[in-house]
């Protein structure tokens, strides 16, 4: 079945074409490289994996309860709109909410894949080209995973959110080689990584937990890559150049904050768009979710050297300034370790089950005359 048949609204043209500017850069120094980045490149090679083999796609998913979380997570819970809904409509709302969330993940990962290829083309350093080539492969795998999950398990797809589309347009359309890093590795990937983490930690369903845990293991490396490259580069920029990057970050963070409101879902259920923001703002769950989404972005922005009073005021206005105190290294280590622990638990369980089957067969054979 064509994905176009699963979209909640027509997506128009077959492709979205983003005009790009800037130079493709060849590097002639093949021996010199930053040890940290080359080590990350080696890790990127070592950690490649096959989603067909690593993920247990036979696990069943209830499309009307994809994450297994309480209904309090829905912004309209407890409002008159919720009270007017039948149980069937509430189930369908849960399906739409999960579809919208994973659809934006899928579209964002395609943006990351294209941006990774863009970085390979434009970045001046060969070690960065090496690593970004591995990231491009990672992102292709993520698009494959989210697309398969939506088509096979949910059966519903949402178009790209306009705010995400605007940020991708700004990121890919800028001629400066560092802007794809800043827009994708820091903002889009940083927010996605935090969103993955929140859902990974609260879901009671095994397949979404597997998918998000394994994807996050890759994404932790990607954010680390952006931090390394930008931290070195931004030490060399003038105050005016840094201010331009800060303006991009501020605008991008407001776009990302507004993206998570999910207006498309609510309007599909007949809720006046003018009420959507108020409902979202009054939801304690959504406010908590929103603040956690900046747990990676804010300390990363601070770490790469964009930490003027303007940036801090913007984060204070969003209510996420305290996130600057987060231990980003610890968060990233945890993201990587959780995937390995999940593998160990899964394979230990499977090994135990196989041994039990073997012993059962042996015992049965012994009882035969």
Topology at the third CATH level for domain 3-9+35-331: Ribonucleotide Reductase, subunit A (1.10.620)
- What confidence score (pLDDT) does residue 355 get? 59
Average of per-residue pLDDT across 227-244 = 91
Say yes or no to pLDDT of 347 above 70: yes
pLDDT band at 360 (very low <50, low <70, confident <90, very high): low
- What confidence score (pLDDT) does residue 37 get? 81
Q: Tell me: the pLDDT tens digits for 170-206?
A: 888 888 889 988 998 889 888 888 889 989 999 999 9
As a whole-number percent, the residues of the chain with pLDDT over 70 amount to: 93
Say yes or no to pLDDT of 95 above 70: yes
Domain spans, the chain: 3-9+35-331
3-state secondary structure 93-104: HHHHHHHHHHHH
Distance of CA 53 to the CA centre of its chain: 21
Find, among 191, 178, 278, the residue nearest to 231 by Cα: 178
Q: Classify residue 347 by burial, with Cβ atoms within 10 Å: 0-12, 13-18, 19+.
A: exposed
Average of per-residue pLDDT across 242-264 = 87
Q: 7: which strand partners?
A: 157
pLDDT band at 364 (very low <50, low <70, confident <90, very high): low
Whole-number CA gyration radius for the chain: 22
Residue 37, CA distances (Å) to 44, 121, 326 in order? 10, 17, 23
| End-to-end alpha carbon distance in the chain | 54
Sign of CA dihedral 276, 281, 284, 287: positive
What is the C-alpha separation between 327 and 300, in angstroms, rounded?
10
Say yes or no to pLDDT of 369 above 80: no
* Residue 346 CB coordination number (10 Å): 14
Rounded to the nearest 10°, the torsion over CA 200, 6, 255, 146 is 30
Q: Tell me: the pLDDT tens digits for 130-166?
A: 999 999 999 999 999 999 999 999 999 999 998 889 9
Q: Tell me: the pLDDT tens digits for 97-109?
A: 999 999 999 999 9
Average of per-residue pLDDT across 42-70 = 94
Residue 189, CA distances (Å) to 86, 116, 193, 294, 369 in order? 37, 12, 6, 11, 64
Backbone angles phi, psi at 7, to 5 degrees: -70, 145
């Amino acid at each position: 079945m064509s994905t176009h048949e699963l979209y909640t609204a027509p997506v128009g043209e077959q492709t979205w074409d983003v005009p790009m500017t800037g130079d493709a850069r060849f590097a002639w120094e093949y021996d010199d490289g930053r040890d940290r980045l080359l080590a990350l490149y080696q890790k990127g090679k070592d950690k490649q994996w096959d989603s067909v083999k690593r993920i247990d796609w036979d696990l069943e998913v209830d499309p009307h309860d994809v994450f297994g979380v309480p209904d309090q997570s829905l912004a309209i819970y407890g409002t008159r709109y919720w009270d007017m809904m039948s149980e069937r409509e509430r189930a369908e709302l849960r399906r739409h909410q999960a579809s919208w969330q994973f659809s934006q993940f899928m579209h964002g990962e395609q943006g990351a894949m294209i941006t990774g290829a863009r970085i390979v083309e434009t970045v001046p350093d060969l070690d960065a080209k090496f690593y970004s080539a591995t990231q491009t492969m990672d992102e292709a795998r993520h698009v494959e995973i989210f697309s398969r999950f939506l088509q096979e398990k949910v059966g519903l797809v949402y178009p790209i959110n306009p705010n995400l589309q605007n940020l991708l347009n700004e990121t890919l359309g800028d001629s400066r080689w560092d802007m794809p890093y800043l827009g994708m590795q820091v903002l889009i990937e940083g927010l996605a990584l935090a969103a993955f983490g929140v859902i990974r930690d609260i879901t009671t369903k095994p397949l979404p937990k597997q998918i998000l845990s394994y994807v996050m293991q890759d994404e932790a490396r990607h954010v680390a890559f952006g931090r390394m490259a930008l931290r070195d580069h931004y030490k060399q920029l003038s105050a005016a150049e840094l201010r331009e990057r800060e303006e991009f970050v501020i605008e991008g963070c407001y776009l990302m904050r507004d993206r998570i409101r999910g207006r498309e879902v609510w309007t599909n259920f007949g809720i006046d768009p003018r009420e959507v923001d108020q409902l979202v703002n009054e939801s304690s769950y959504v406010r908590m979710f929103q603040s956690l989404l900046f747990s990676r972005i804010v300390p990363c922005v601070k770490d790469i050297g964009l930490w003027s009073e303007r940036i801090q005021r913007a984060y204070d206005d969003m209510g996420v300034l305290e996130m600057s105190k987060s231990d980003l290294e610890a968060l990233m280590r945890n993201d990587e370790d959780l995937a390995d622990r999940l593998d160990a638990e899964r394979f230990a369980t499977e090994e135990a089950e196989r041994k039990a089957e073997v012993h059962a067969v042996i015992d049965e054979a012994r009882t035969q005359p």
